[in-house]
């Protein structure tokens, strides 16, 4: 009776599969190779820590966290999301670092009614006319730079050169800076995404002789830019940046030349608050004493938000309306402190000024200086009809 | 746009061009002499960069790192020659392209298995991290000067080797007419192996020198292979002199495109449009150069075979 045996095996498999399918499935698109690899690795560490803290569950229910690297490529992200949706039937999605990948995968996720909690990018398109109830942001790209523009005013920089990679977030970041900055923009340089050699651009900056340089170059791009900037003899020109160009990954790789770089962010590891203190301590314990970056913090927060939403929705993740309602009114303690979502699901929150310096042990890191923008909302919310 | 700005861009273009030459020299010799299309040449460049970055990180000695990169890469290349390339010499180009493309895929996965997917951050040697004051108002990164110096030195050495030594004569004979060289009793197999190892050493040297100013990552070999192929096509396949001139041309055109086009476009177009158009146009500058050269001289600037 071999057929019967086979049939039994198939039935057993089916049974196993249905048990499996009852788990809540979270699709995480890891970004650990490609142009954003250093940032993606930080985010991965934040996810891992959160999964550990949650005991592999969401809202007390068994959950499965699918993790696949997509190498920062929007095309690969699209394929991965198609697989997550069709084969794995995910209930939540998060992970991409780049705005280009976020914009690429959004439509398929929204059509499949899968909530996409961004663990990093906040592209302007999803904040304005393309806003969607299934997309939740951590910040809007421009806001970091609006804060930086305000800082540049306060520092009295009368003219600046701006530099960013030529992709959606690069444009958002430079637009954000120009929105609140009152001085003159001497030059606005867009580079290839993932560019490593900045000799041509540094020569342009030298020729422009600005009071300060504002650079949005996350990850390896920023590391190389600052090294070559200093190597090119421009170390007396002040650098100002959104937090992404001056976070732990960049600071540790560049070293001393980073001291004094002003940067803005919606979170910092020395921000007061119980949830943050707990997160930073756990992170430093798990990862050899290194400080978490904003990417790790956002990744951690994203899973905490999912956990709270599943609990608040009574564990019924198939009831998308209930899940969205719960996500919109988060009941968890965020590491960034209190925030509320605006009409476009982008947060209204504080933005802080940080300065790179040394901690008590002599380790280079960001230090909180103060609040730059209080309860700040993005500029695109008016265009959102939701 | 002042003279210093233009001069600095010329230096940048020269540095990039010389590094391209190191890669293209090996590629053009292998293609010209052995009539073998070796797409895996870029993988040797990648191997050199990875080995140099790791040895430099571990030992803190840059010279040792460069030497180790060259040695390890030559060893890898020798293995590759014996196992695969040697079997391809007499096959047609399609087979060679398929086989060496396969090697690229394997090499990328081997690197992934050994060093992981995350790019390595190679640092410049500490003594060369700062600028050198070349002229009033022109501090120039000292590491880039080293690149230019090393590139010129290697180019000179290669020129002497090819034009003034016995082995060089055999290499030239092989490049201009392989069959005739064989009839005259040249041990073509030995010359092939020597040229392949030499090409690998040059690629590794370029990888090791470029590591601190580029990202040491999987796929870096494929990215550099395309401009290197453009260089050997412009220069004329098999010609070292052609590769040298073409590499400098491509280096200068590419840098000039990146440095001068975007500001020029911004002067006449709105910044958002210029931002999209500038890098795109700069990126195609070297292909325009190739098309122009091939229109005028279909065999390249200095064809090795008359």
Q: Is residue B242 part of a domain?
A: no
Q: Flag whether pLDDT at A16 surpasses 50.
A: no
pLDDT, tens digit, 9 for 90 and up, residues A81-105:
999 999 999 999 999 999 999 999 9
Q: Which of B141, B271, B272 has the CB atom closest to A228's CB atom?
A: B141
In chain A, residues with a C-beta closer than 8 Å to the C-beta of B4 are 206-207
Nearest CA in chain B to A196: B214
Q: Flag whether pLDDT at A18 surpasses 50.
A: no
For chain A, strand residue ranges (E) read: 24-30, 57-58, 61-69, 92-94, 116-117, 135-136, 159-165, 184-191, 212-215, 239-242, 262-265, 340-341, 347-358, 364-376
- Within 8 A by CB and 6+ apart from B21, the residues are B151, B155, B231, B243, B244, B247, B248
Please provide residue A312's backbone torsions phi and psi, each rounded to the nearest 5 degrees.
-70, -25
Q: Flag whether pLDDT at A12 surpasses 60.
A: no
Using a CB–CB cutoff of 8 Å, tell me whether A175 touches chain B.
no
- Do residues B264 and B303 touch, judged by C-beta distance below 8 A? no
d(C-alpha B251, C-alpha B122), whole Å: 22
Q: Flag whether pLDDT at A303 surpasses 90.
A: yes
Q: Which of A199, A220, A227 has the CB atom closest to B12's CB atom?
A: A199
Kindly report the average pLDDT of chain A as a whole number. Answer: 90
- Measured between alpha carbons, how far is residue A340 from residues A201, B137, B150 in Å? 40, 51, 58
- Cα torsion for A287, A293, A297, A302, to the nearest 10°? -110
- Do residues B36 and B89 touch, judged by C-beta distance below 8 A? yes
Q: Flag whether pLDDT at A20 surpasses 50.
A: no
What are all long-range contacts of B275-279, with beta carbons under 8 Å and residues at least 24 apart?
A: B275/A166, B275/A171, B275/A188, B275/A190, B276/A166, B278/A190, B279/A166, B279/A190, B279/A191, B279/A192
pLDDT reported for residue B257: 86
Those of residues 27-56 in A touching chain B at CB distance below 8 A are 32-33, 37-38, 41
Split into its structural domains, chain B has a count of 1
- Do residues A226 and A254 touch, judged by C-beta distance below 8 A? yes
In chain A, residues with a C-beta closer than 8 Å to the C-beta of B271 are 188
In chain B, residues with a C-beta closer than 8 Å to the C-beta of A32 are 117-118
Would you call A224 and B129 a contact, using CB atoms and an 8 Å cutoff? no
Using a CB–CB cutoff of 8 Å, tell me whether B7 touches chain A.
no
Q: Is residue B207 part of a domain?
A: yes
d(C-alpha B262, C-alpha B29), whole Å: 36
Using a CB–CB cutoff of 8 Å, tell me whether A196 touches chain B.
yes
In chain B, residues with a C-beta closer than 8 Å to the C-beta of A33 are 117-119, 217-218
Q: Flag whether pLDDT at A10 surpasses 60.
A: no
Best residue of B15, B17, B116, B119 to probe chain A, by most A CBs closer than 10 Å: B119
Question: Between these two residues, B57 and A22, which has the higher pLDDT value?
Answer: B57
pLDDT reported for residue B303: 83
Would you call B259 and A203 a contact, using CB atoms and an 8 Å cutoff? yes
Those of residues 237-276 in B touching chain A at CB distance below 8 A are 255, 258-259, 262-263, 266, 271-272, 275-276
- Do residues B219 and B9 touch, judged by C-beta distance below 8 A? no
Q: Is B82 exposed, middle or buried (0-12, 13-18, 19+ CB in 10 A)?
A: exposed
Nearest CA in chain B to A206: B5
Q: Confirm whether pTM is higher than 0.95.
A: no
CA A346 to mean position of chain CA atoms: 13
When pLDDT is averaged across residues A222-227 and rounded to a whole number, the result is 88
The C-alpha of A207 sits at a distance from chain B's nearest C-alpha, in angstroms, of 6
* Beta carbons within 10 angstroms of residue A361's beta carbon: 7
Range with lowest mean pLDDT among A5-9, A209-213, A324-328: A5-9
- Within 8 A by CB and 6+ apart from A154, the residues are none
pLDDT reported for residue A8: 53
CA A178, A183, A189 angle in degrees (round to 5)?
Answer: 50
Would you call A166 and B279 a contact, using CB atoms and an 8 Å cutoff? yes
Q: Is residue B184 part of a domain?
A: yes
d(C-alpha B216, C-alpha B218), whole Å: 7
| Tens digits of pLDDT across chain B (306 residues) | 578 888 888 998 999 999 999 999 989 888 877 788 889 999 999 999 999 999 998 998 999 999 999 999 999 999 999 999 888 888 888 999 999 999 999 999 999 899 887 778 788 888 888 888 888 778 888 899 999 999 999 999 998 998 899 988 888 887 778 788 888 888 877 888 888 999 999 999 999 999 888 778 888 888 889 999 999 999 998 888 899 999 999 999 988 888 888 778 878 887 667 777 877 788 888 999 999 999 999 989 988 764
Q: Flag whether pLDDT at A76 surpasses 50.
A: yes
Q: Flag whether pLDDT at A11 surpasses 70.
A: no
pLDDT reported for residue A6: 58
d(C-alpha B176, C-alpha B303), whole Å: 9
- Within 8 A by CB and 6+ apart from A18, the residues are none
Q: Flag whether pLDDT at A80 surpasses 90.
A: yes
Cα maximum dimension of chain B: 66
pLDDT, tens digit, 9 for 90 and up, residues A273-296:
999 999 999 999 999 899 999 999
Best residue of A73, A161, A229, A231 to probe chain B, by most B CBs closer than 10 Å: A231
Residues spanned by the domain of B53: 3-217
d(C-alpha B69, C-alpha B59), whole Å: 13
pLDDT reported for residue A344: 94
Q: Domains in chain A, start-ordered, CATH in brackets?
A: 2-139+272-337 (3.40.50.2300), 142-265+351-379 (3.40.50.2300)
d(C-alpha B259, C-alpha B281), whole Å: 12
Using a CB–CB cutoff of 8 Å, tell me whether A67 touches chain B.
no
């Amino acid at each position: 009776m071999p057929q019967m045996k086979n049939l039994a095996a198939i039935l057993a498999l089916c049974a196993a599969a249905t048990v499996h399918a009852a788990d809540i499935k979270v699709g995480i698109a890891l970004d650990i190779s490609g142009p954003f690899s250093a940032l993606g690795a930080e985010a991965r560490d934040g996810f891992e820590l959160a999964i550990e803290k949650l005991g592999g569950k969401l809202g007390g229910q068994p959950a499965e966290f699918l993790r696949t690297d997509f190498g920062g490529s929007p095309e690969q992200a699209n394929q991965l999301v198609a697989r997550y949706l069709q084969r794995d039937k995910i209930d939540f999605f998060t992970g991409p670092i780049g705005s280009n990948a976020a914009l690429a995968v959004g439509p398929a996720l929204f059509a499949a009614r899968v909530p996409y909690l961004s663990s990093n990018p906040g592209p302007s398109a999803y904040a304005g006319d393309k806003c969607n109830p299934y997309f939740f942001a951590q910040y809007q790209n421009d806001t970091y730079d609006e804060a930086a523009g305000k800082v540049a005013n306060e520092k009295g920089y009368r003219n600046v050169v701006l530099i960013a990679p030529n992709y959606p977030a690069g444009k958002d970041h430079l637009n954000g800076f120009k929105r609140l900055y009152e001085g003159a923009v001497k030059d606005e340089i867009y580079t290839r995404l993932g560019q490593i050699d900045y000799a041509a651009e540094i020569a342009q900056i030298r020729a422009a002789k600005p009071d300060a340089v504002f650079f949005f170059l996350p990850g390896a791009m920023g590391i190389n830019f600052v090294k070559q900037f200093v190597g090119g003899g421009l170390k007396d020109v002040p650098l100002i940046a959104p937090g992404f160009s001056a976070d732990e990954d960049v600071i540790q790789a560049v070293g001393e030349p980073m001291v004094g770089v002003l940067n803005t962010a919606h979170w910092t590891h020395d921000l007061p608050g119980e949830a943050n203190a707990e997160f930073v301590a756990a992170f430093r314990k798990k990862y050899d004493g290194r400080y978490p970056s904003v990417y790790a913090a956002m990744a951690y927060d994203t899973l905490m938000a999912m956990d709270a939403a599943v609990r608040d929705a009574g564990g019924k993740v198939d009831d998308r309306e209930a899940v969205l309602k719960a996500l919109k009114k988060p009941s968890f303690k965020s590491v960034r402190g209190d925030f509320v979502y605006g009409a476009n699901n982008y947060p209204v929150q504080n933005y802080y000024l940080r300065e790179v310096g040394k901690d008590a042990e002599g380790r280079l890191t960001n230090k909180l200086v103060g609040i730059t923008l209080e309860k700040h909302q993005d500029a695109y919310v008016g265009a959102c009809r939701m | 746009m002042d003279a210093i700005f233009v001069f600095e861009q010329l230096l940048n273009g020269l540095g990039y061009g010389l590094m391209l030459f190191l890669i293209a020299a090996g590629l053009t010799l292998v293609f010209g002499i052995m009539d073998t299309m070796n797409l895996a040449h870029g993988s040797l460049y990648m191997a050199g960069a990875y080995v140099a970055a790791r040895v430099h990180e571990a030992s803190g000695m840059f010279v040792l790192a460069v030497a180790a990169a060259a040695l390890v890469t030559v060893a890898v290349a020798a293995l590759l020659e014996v196992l695969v390339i040697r079997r391809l010499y007499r096959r047609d180009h399609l087979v060679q392209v398929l086989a060496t493309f396969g090697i690229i895929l394997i090499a990328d996965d081997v690197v992934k298995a050994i060093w992981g997917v995350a790019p390595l951050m190679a640092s410049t040697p500490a003594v060369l991290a700062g600028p050198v004051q070349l002229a009033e108002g022109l501090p120039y990164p000292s590491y880039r000067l080293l690149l230019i110096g090393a590139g010129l030195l290697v180019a000179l050495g290669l020129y002497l080797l090819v034009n003034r030594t016995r082995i060089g004569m055999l290499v030239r004979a092989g490049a201009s007419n392989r069959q005739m060289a064989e009839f005259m009793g040249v041990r073509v197999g030995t010359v092939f192996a020597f040229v392949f190892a030499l090409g690998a050493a040059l690629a590794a040297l370029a990888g090791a020198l470029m590591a601190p100013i580029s990202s040491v990552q999987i796929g870096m070999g494929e990215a550099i292979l395309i401009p290197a192929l453009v260089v050997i096509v412009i220069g004329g396949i098999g010609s070292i002199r052609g590769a040298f001139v073409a590499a400098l041309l491509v280096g200068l055109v590419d840098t000039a495109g990146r440095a001068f086009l975007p500001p020029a476009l911004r002067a006449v177009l709105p910044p958002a449009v210029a931002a999209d158009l500038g890098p795109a146009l700069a990126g195609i500058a070297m292909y325009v150069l190739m098309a122009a050269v091939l229109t005028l001289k279909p065999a390249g600037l200095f064809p090795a075979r008359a």
